[in-house]
């Protein structure tokens, strides 16, 4: 099982549920064929302009950072746990592919945010520790250094039996996330890729007091697999002899206690300032993409983050995602959105050519056998999904279910964030000051702070 860093690349490795990135060595035609290795980066990306080959024990930036473990990987980076030999602490080093090193905005956004005045929500933005370049057989690579994290929320849920956080912990995490997004939007930054794989639980400070051998004793030594070509030929220059399996440093979601749920928001590779850059497509996970990314001709802005934030909040609060599909094509995603939230705005409804495969012209469900996909024809509204995604799993796990008062406030907040038209969606500031945040989110966060301080 892998863990994640505050710099978790493109999300497609991190969020296994919605992955569009292969989690194994590639077997596509036209590429070099390697022996299959599970849970590692695409080995065919070890080529000119691709990944930089690294091994545990390598020292980077004139010997300052020594690699001690693998944290993860994404479509355009590998991420490593390293010992900062100057400051005697652990850091995360993200080594970006050569072809993306010159265009990734991540370092500039983190540097800009680090220079802003402190404000509510800034605490979940990872501090930029260092940026440097390395040259290798596959090109020149930008390396971004920040503090390491224990695990992503996605992996924490995957490691647990019921896939749930304790109620107070869930409330606190949601409150932290809302504050963080509000801070970003105040600084004119759209995150662009909010999901559970990009929200990380911080390492406890005690980690820095562990020597490398003590770290291995507690979490296990790095595991590697030999890279072998299926045609028996020698590896090309720039391909590592061994690749490392990401380590597991986390705990199951239901074992996280209040006071230990401090989060970091990661992966600013898709972030943008809508005043300076026009963005018309969303690259976040398909089931989380806002409807305007498909149907509107207007550029995306802060409202796109609010949509994905709502989907992410739902998944933190309960067991299952709000929108679900085994094969999330654009039409399947739209079908889920309409089933839960009702008919699209008229101009979008007319534009959706396949609407009649699932609905009649009034937006009522009218499933055909060939398109039902096993659907029983009963409309699964937001209210129904609250029961089987949140209430029933909590009850089964022996956790406190959501009270009617909190449920009303929570659903009200979510509905305001999931308005189809982006201009009708709640802003981050409005979400920050919502009834749910005042009555449940902020009180849980304040209780966590008091627990942590004591």
Edge-to-edge strands, sheet with 149-152 = 149-152, 199-202, 263-265
Q: Determine the Cα–Cα distance for residues 433 and 178; give it in Å rounded to an integer.
A: 10
Q: Is 438 annotated as a binding residue?
A: no
Of 100, 62, 64, 66, nearest to 80 by C-alpha is 66
Of 404, 55, 405, 378, nearest to 227 by C-alpha is 55
Provide the b/e sequence for 347-364 (b: ≥16 CB within 10 Å): ebbeebeebeebbeeeee
Q: Determine the Cα–Cα distance for residues 288 and 282; give it in Å rounded to an integer.
A: 9
**Residue 28: strand pairing partners:** none
Q: Determine the Cα–Cα distance for residues 22 and 186; give it in Å rounded to an integer.
A: 36
Q: Determine the Cα–Cα distance for residues 346 and 323; give it in Å rounded to an integer.
A: 22
Element (H or E) spanning 93, and its range? strand 89-96
* Binding-site annotation: residue ranges: 94
* Binding-site annotation: residue ranges for ATP: 94
């Amino acid at each position: 099982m892998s863990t994640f860093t505050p710099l978790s690349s493109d999300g497609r490795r991190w969020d296994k549920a919605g992955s569009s990135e292969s989690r194994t060595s590639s077997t596509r035609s036209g590429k070099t064929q390697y022996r299959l290795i599970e849970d590692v980066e695409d080995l065919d990306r070890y080529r000119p302009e691709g990944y930089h080959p690294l091994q545990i024990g390598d020292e980077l930036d004139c010997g300052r950072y020594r690699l001690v473990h693998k944290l993860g990987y994404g479509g355009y980076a590998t991420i490593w746990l390293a010992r900062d030999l100057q400051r005697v602490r652990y850091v995360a080093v993200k080594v970006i592919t050569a072809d993306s090193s010159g265009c990734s905005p991540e370092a500039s956004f983190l540097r800009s945010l680090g220079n802003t005045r402190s404000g509510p929500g800034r605490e979940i933005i990872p501090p930029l520790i260092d940026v440097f370049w390395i040259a290798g057989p596959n090109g020149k690579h930008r390396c971004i250094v920040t503090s390491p994290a224990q695990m992503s929320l996605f992996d924490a849920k995957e490691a647990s039996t019921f896939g749930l956080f304790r109620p107070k912990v869930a409330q606190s995490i949601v409150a932290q996330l809302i504050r963080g997004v509000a801070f970003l939007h105040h600084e004119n930054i759209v995150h662009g890729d909010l999901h559970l794989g990009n929200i990380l639980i911080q390492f406890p400070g005690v980690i820095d007091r562990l020597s490398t051998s003590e770290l291995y004793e507690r979490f296990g030594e790095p595991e590697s697999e030999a890279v072998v070509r299926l045609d028996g030929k020698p590896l090309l220059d720039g391909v590592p002899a061994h690749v490392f399996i990401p380590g597991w440093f986390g705990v199951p979601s239901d074992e996280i206690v209040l006071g230990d749920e401090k989060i970091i928001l990661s992966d600013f590779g898709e972030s943008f300032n809508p005043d300076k850059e026009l963005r018309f497509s969303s690259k976040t996970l398909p089931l989380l993409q806002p409807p305007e990314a498909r149907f509107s001709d207007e550029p995306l802005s802060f409202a796109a983050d609010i949509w994905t934030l709502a989907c992410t909040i739902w998944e933190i609060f309960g067991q299952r995602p709000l929108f679900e599909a085994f094969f999330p094509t654009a039409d399947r995603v739209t079908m889920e959105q309409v089933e839960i939230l009702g008919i699209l705005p008229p101009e979008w409804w007319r534009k959706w050519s396949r609407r009649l495969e699932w609905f009649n012209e009034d937006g009522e469900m009218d499933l055909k056998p060939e398109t039902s996909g096993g659907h029983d024809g009963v409309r699964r509204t937001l209210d129904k999904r609250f029961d089987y995604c949140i209430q029933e799993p909590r009850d089964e796990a022996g956790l406190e279910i959501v009270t009617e008062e909190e449920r009303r406030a929570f659903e009200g907040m979510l509905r305001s964030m999931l308005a189809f038209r982006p201009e009708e969606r709640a802003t981050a500031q409005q979400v920050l000051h919502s009834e749910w945040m005042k009555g449940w989110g902020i009180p849980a966060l304040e209780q966590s702070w008091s627990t942590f301080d004591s």
